[in-house]
A and B are shown apart, each in its own frame.
Chain A
Amino acid sequence: MITLGDYLIVSGILFVIGFAGVMLRRNLIIILMSLELMLNAANLSLVAFSRFRVDSTGLPDYDVQVFVFFIITVAAAEVAVGLAILVALYRARQTTDVKDISSLKF
């Protein structure tokens, strides 16, 4: 029997992988992909919550699933904007390595 805990563990592993990717990888595209991974980890745990929160009529809690749809939509928009910025940045700097993009400091 798969419990809520198992879903959450998988979700946590996905989130940590995503976070590690954002922290450690240098390529901006990979970082964006890792971000998506973190968002989907969150989606997974939300869906799991929905599934395991059953009310008296035997139906799952759909409010949470609506929330997940919103996240998917926003993530799509974010990727569009993010990739556009990335292209613009590449045109300006000829690089997508975050080590070279460090002028935002004193």
Chain B
Amino acid sequence: MNSFLPWTILLAPLISAVFITLFALRWKAVSSFISIAAVLVSFACSCLIFTQSGIAAAELTWINIGGALKVPLGFTLDQLSKTMLLVVSGVGATIHIYSLGYMRDDEGRSRYFAALSLFMFAMFGIVLANNFVMLFIFWELVGFTSYVLIGHWFFRDAAADAANKAFITTRIGDFGFMIGILMVWMATGSIVFAEITPRMPDLVSHPTFVTIAALLIFCGAVGKSAQFPLHVWLPDAMEGPTPISALIHAATMVAAGVYMLVRVAFVIQASQTALLVVAWIGTITAAMAALIATQQNDIKRILAYSTLSQLGYMVMAVGLASNDAAMFHLFTHAFFKALLFLAAGSIIVMLHHEQNIWKMGGLSRKLPVTFVTFAIGALALIGCPPFSGFFSKDAILALAYERNMPIFTLGLFTAFLTAFYVVRLLVIVFFGDTRSEAARQSKESPLVMTGPLIVLAIFAAVGGFGFFARNFLVLPIEKETGFFVPALAFGALIVGSGLAIGIYRSRASDPIDIEVLRHKFYFDELYAWLINWTHELLARVSAFFDRWIIDTGAVDGSSRGIWGIGALLRLIQLGNLQAYVFLFGLGVIAVIYFAVFR
């Protein structure tokens, strides 16, 4: 059954973005309401689509080169994409509304909402795409909107730099992604997911090829989902407005990498080596980010590192060949992490853009709604039963327990660290004495900001219940793990939280100081050094090439060469008539010799 609904979902935000950019840049209120209306339309259509089965949309042929390369504009409408649509449009809608409050004093509000709408368009495109090329184009488009929104306050150097860093770092991964897509196209002759799947058996007979293709495609997810070697951009991306951090850099765009991996799981799962690499990258990211988070002092950065860590869990689940577990965690994480960021945003605004947790303290009395919702999000994040995070994280840990013991151990360790740093954050921000004037004078945020918080808090609390898990995803239970894994996870949670409460209760400064964690394992310094070094080398080589090969060799060389030949030829021009005659005679003799005797 063809339906106009998918096209409506996709195009409503685009129309909003175009309209705001062309006509409504001056009327800030108008542009924000257009943007919110667009996302609400998309949300309503997503709900309608979710309830209907067997829905399809008209497909257009975009590029067709003699049948060799066919790129349609078509939609995938299965359980996976429908779920993702709901998450993206639902979280997106709450964040649009929250932005009304958060950005109410901002001069560039129209620009902000236009970019937000464009982001929604691109994100829906990724979710709906039924082929690699369409996926890749929207993939780049979310990268671009992410760049624009991180750099929303471009007059601050830190924001402009962070925007550049995010864009360039993800581009590195996308380059691999593109090569991977080309490899799959080369091997199967098609870029449409549904057409590639039946041709996979031919591919599997070339294990090395499949492994390389799968890993290159994974590179795209490494960049976009900020996994281990390319994770450095995400914490810096917190320079953007907080709703952006919530929507793009926590709930949706960074999760798009995981969604993409699930979407093309048929390629990844064709290679055991690739799966193992994916699982370990996820595990390393999860553990590393959690370690770093324990020593950060910026509230948004702590949340950013927790996002990294949770994304690591999802990638780990993909690597353990369970798409359902990954998507389940993506689903719950979208709600509780958006909630955490929005609550943090509420604190930041009420404290006049103070982000240092040591300048807060005692806020549970000043911002009660924010506190309760933040606490629900935090409990979901650390996997405390019965909040949503418990179920999804438990699913992943149970999976790891069954399939790979070292990964399970590290996953459990990460769960312990997560509990530790989240409770540390809670204790420092919401309890104890207020440690600054701004914190003492703060009061609760307006309803337009607390409303979305409450909605998201409800989902973060109940999102993991069997009702949702059953409806959205089918979890594989291969063998009964019983109470062993949940008990272990809960134990790690209790130990971590207890430790954090013990260490940080009524402290005014951090009693632990681990240099290497505070400096994020020196990744930025390492990359700076590496890039400096390679730049230097490249610059030297190019300078040598330019100076000696191009300048001296090609440019000066050709002119000098012509000059030299001219100088040689000038020697013949004697000006002596009789010498010319002599040469002429020699020439005639040579001609006769060649004509007659050869």
The answer to whether A binds B is yes
A-side residues, CB < 8 A to B, are 19, 22-24, 98-99, 101-106
Complex Cα spacing A19 to B573, Å: 21
Complex Cα spacing A22 to B574, Å: 17
Give B560-581 as 1s and 0s: 1 = Cβ < 8 Å from A's Cβ atoms.
Answer: 0000000000100111111001
Given A23-B582, A23-B585: A105 in contact with B574 (beta carbons within 8 A): yes
Task: Name the residue of chain A whose CB is nearest to the CB of B575.
Answer: A105
Q: A22-B578, A105-B573 are in contact. List 19 more A-B contacts (CB 8 A).
A: A19-B585, A22-B581, A23-B578, A23-B585, A24-B578, A98-B576, A98-B577, A98-B578, A99-B576, A101-B577, A102-B574, A102-B575, A102-B576, A102-B577, A103-B575, A104-B575, A105-B575, A106-B570, A106-B573
Interfacial chain B residues near A99, Cβ < 8 Å? 576
Interfacial chain A residues near B573, Cβ < 8 Å? 105-106
Complex Cα spacing A19 to B583, Å: 12
Complex Cα spacing A98 to B575, Å: 10
Complex Cα spacing A105 to B579, Å: 12
Complex Cα spacing A16 to B582, Å: 12
Shortest CB-to-CB span from B355 to chain A, Å, is 79
Complex Cα spacing A93 to B309, Å: 100
Interfacial chain B residues near A22, Cβ < 8 Å? 578, 581
Interfacial chain B residues near A19, Cβ < 8 Å? 581, 585
Shortest CB-to-CB span from A56 to chain B, Å, is 29
Complex Cα spacing A23 to B581, Å: 6
Could you list 13 A-B pairs, sorted by A, with CB under 8 Å?
Answer: A19-B581, A23-B578, A23-B582, A24-B578, A98-B576, A99-B576, A102-B574, A102-B576, A103-B575, A105-B573, A105-B575, A106-B570, A106-B573
Interfacial chain A residues near B577, Cβ < 8 Å? 98, 101-102
Complex Cα spacing A90 to B582, Å: 24
Complex Cα spacing A103 to B505, Å: 105
Interfacial chain A residues near B574, Cβ < 8 Å? 102, 105
Interfacial chain A residues near B581, Cβ < 8 Å? 19, 22-23
Complex Cα spacing A12 to B581, Å: 18
Shortest CB-to-CB span from B572 to chain A, Å, is 9
Task: Name the residue of chain B whose CB is nearest to the CB of A102.
Answer: B575
Task: Name the residue of chain B whose CB is nearest to the CB of A101.
Answer: B577
Interfacial chain A residues near B575, Cβ < 8 Å? 102-105
Task: Name the residue of chain A whose CB is nearest to the CB of B582.
Answer: A23
Shortest CB-to-CB span from B230 to chain A, Å, is 66
Complex Cα spacing A102 to B574, Å: 8
3 tightest A-B CB contacts, nearest first: A105-B575, A102-B575, A105-B573
Complex Cα spacing A19 to B582, Å: 9
Complex Cα spacing A103 to B574, Å: 9
Interfacial chain B residues near A98, Cβ < 8 Å? 576-578
Complex Cα spacing A103 to B575, Å: 6
Complex Cα spacing A32 to B578, Å: 13
Shortest CB-to-CB span from B584 to chain A, Å, is 10
Interfacial chain B residues near A104, Cβ < 8 Å? 575
Shortest CB-to-CB span from A50 to chain B, Å, is 22
Complex Cα spacing A101 to B573, Å: 14
Interfacial chain B residues near A102, Cβ < 8 Å? 574-577
Interfacial chain B residues near A101, Cβ < 8 Å? 577
Complex Cα spacing A19 to B529, Å: 81
Task: Name the residue of chain B whose CB is nearest to the CB of A105.
Answer: B575
Task: Name the residue of chain B whose CB is nearest to the CB of A25.
Answer: B578
Give B55-75 as 1s and 0s: 1 = Cβ < 8 Å from A's Cβ atoms.
Answer: 000000000000000000000
Interfacial chain B residues near A23, Cβ < 8 Å? 578, 581-582, 585
Among B578, B581, B582, B585, max chain A CB count under 10 A is at: B578
Task: Name the residue of chain B whose CB is nearest to the CB of A26.
Answer: B578
Interfacial chain B residues near A105, Cβ < 8 Å? 573-575
Shortest CB-to-CB span from A48 to chain B, Å, is 19
Task: Name the residue of chain B whose CB is nearest to the CB of A104.
Answer: B575
Complex Cα spacing A105 to B578, Å: 13
Shortest CB-to-CB span from A36 to chain B, Å, is 15
Interfacial chain B residues near A103, Cβ < 8 Å? 575
Shortest CB-to-CB span from A95 to chain B, Å, is 13
Complex Cα spacing A24 to B578, Å: 7
Complex Cα spacing A8 to B576, Å: 31
Complex Cα spacing A23 to B574, Å: 15
Task: Name the residue of chain B whose CB is nearest to the CB of A99.
Answer: B576
Task: Name the residue of chain A whose CB is nearest to the CB of B577.
Answer: A98
Complex Cα spacing A22 to B582, Å: 9
Complex Cα spacing A102 to B581, Å: 14
Complex Cα spacing A101 to B570, Å: 18
Task: Name the residue of chain A whose CB is nearest to the CB of B580.
Answer: A104
Complex Cα spacing A98 to B577, Å: 7
Give B536-576 as 1s and 0s: 1 = Cβ < 8 Å from A's Cβ atoms.
Answer: 00000000000000000000000000000000001001111
Complex Cα spacing A101 to B576, Å: 8
Complex Cα spacing A23 to B132, Å: 83
Shortest CB-to-CB span from A32 to chain B, Å, is 12
Interfacial chain A residues near B578, Cβ < 8 Å? 22-24, 98
Shortest CB-to-CB span from B442 to chain A, Å, is 91
Task: Name the residue of chain B whose CB is nearest to the CB of A28.
Answer: B577
Task: Name the residue of chain B whose CB is nearest to the CB of A24.
Answer: B578
Interfacial chain A residues near B576, Cβ < 8 Å? 98-99, 102
Task: Name the residue of chain A whose CB is nearest to the CB of B578.
Answer: A23
Complex Cα spacing A24 to B577, Å: 10
Complex Cα spacing A18 to B71, Å: 84
Complex Cα spacing A101 to B574, Å: 11
Task: Name the residue of chain A whose CB is nearest to the CB of B574.
Answer: A105
Task: Name the residue of chain A whose CB is nearest to the CB of B585.
Answer: A19
Complex Cα spacing A105 to B581, Å: 15
Interfacial chain A residues near B582, Cβ < 8 Å? 23
Complex Cα spacing A105 to B574, Å: 6
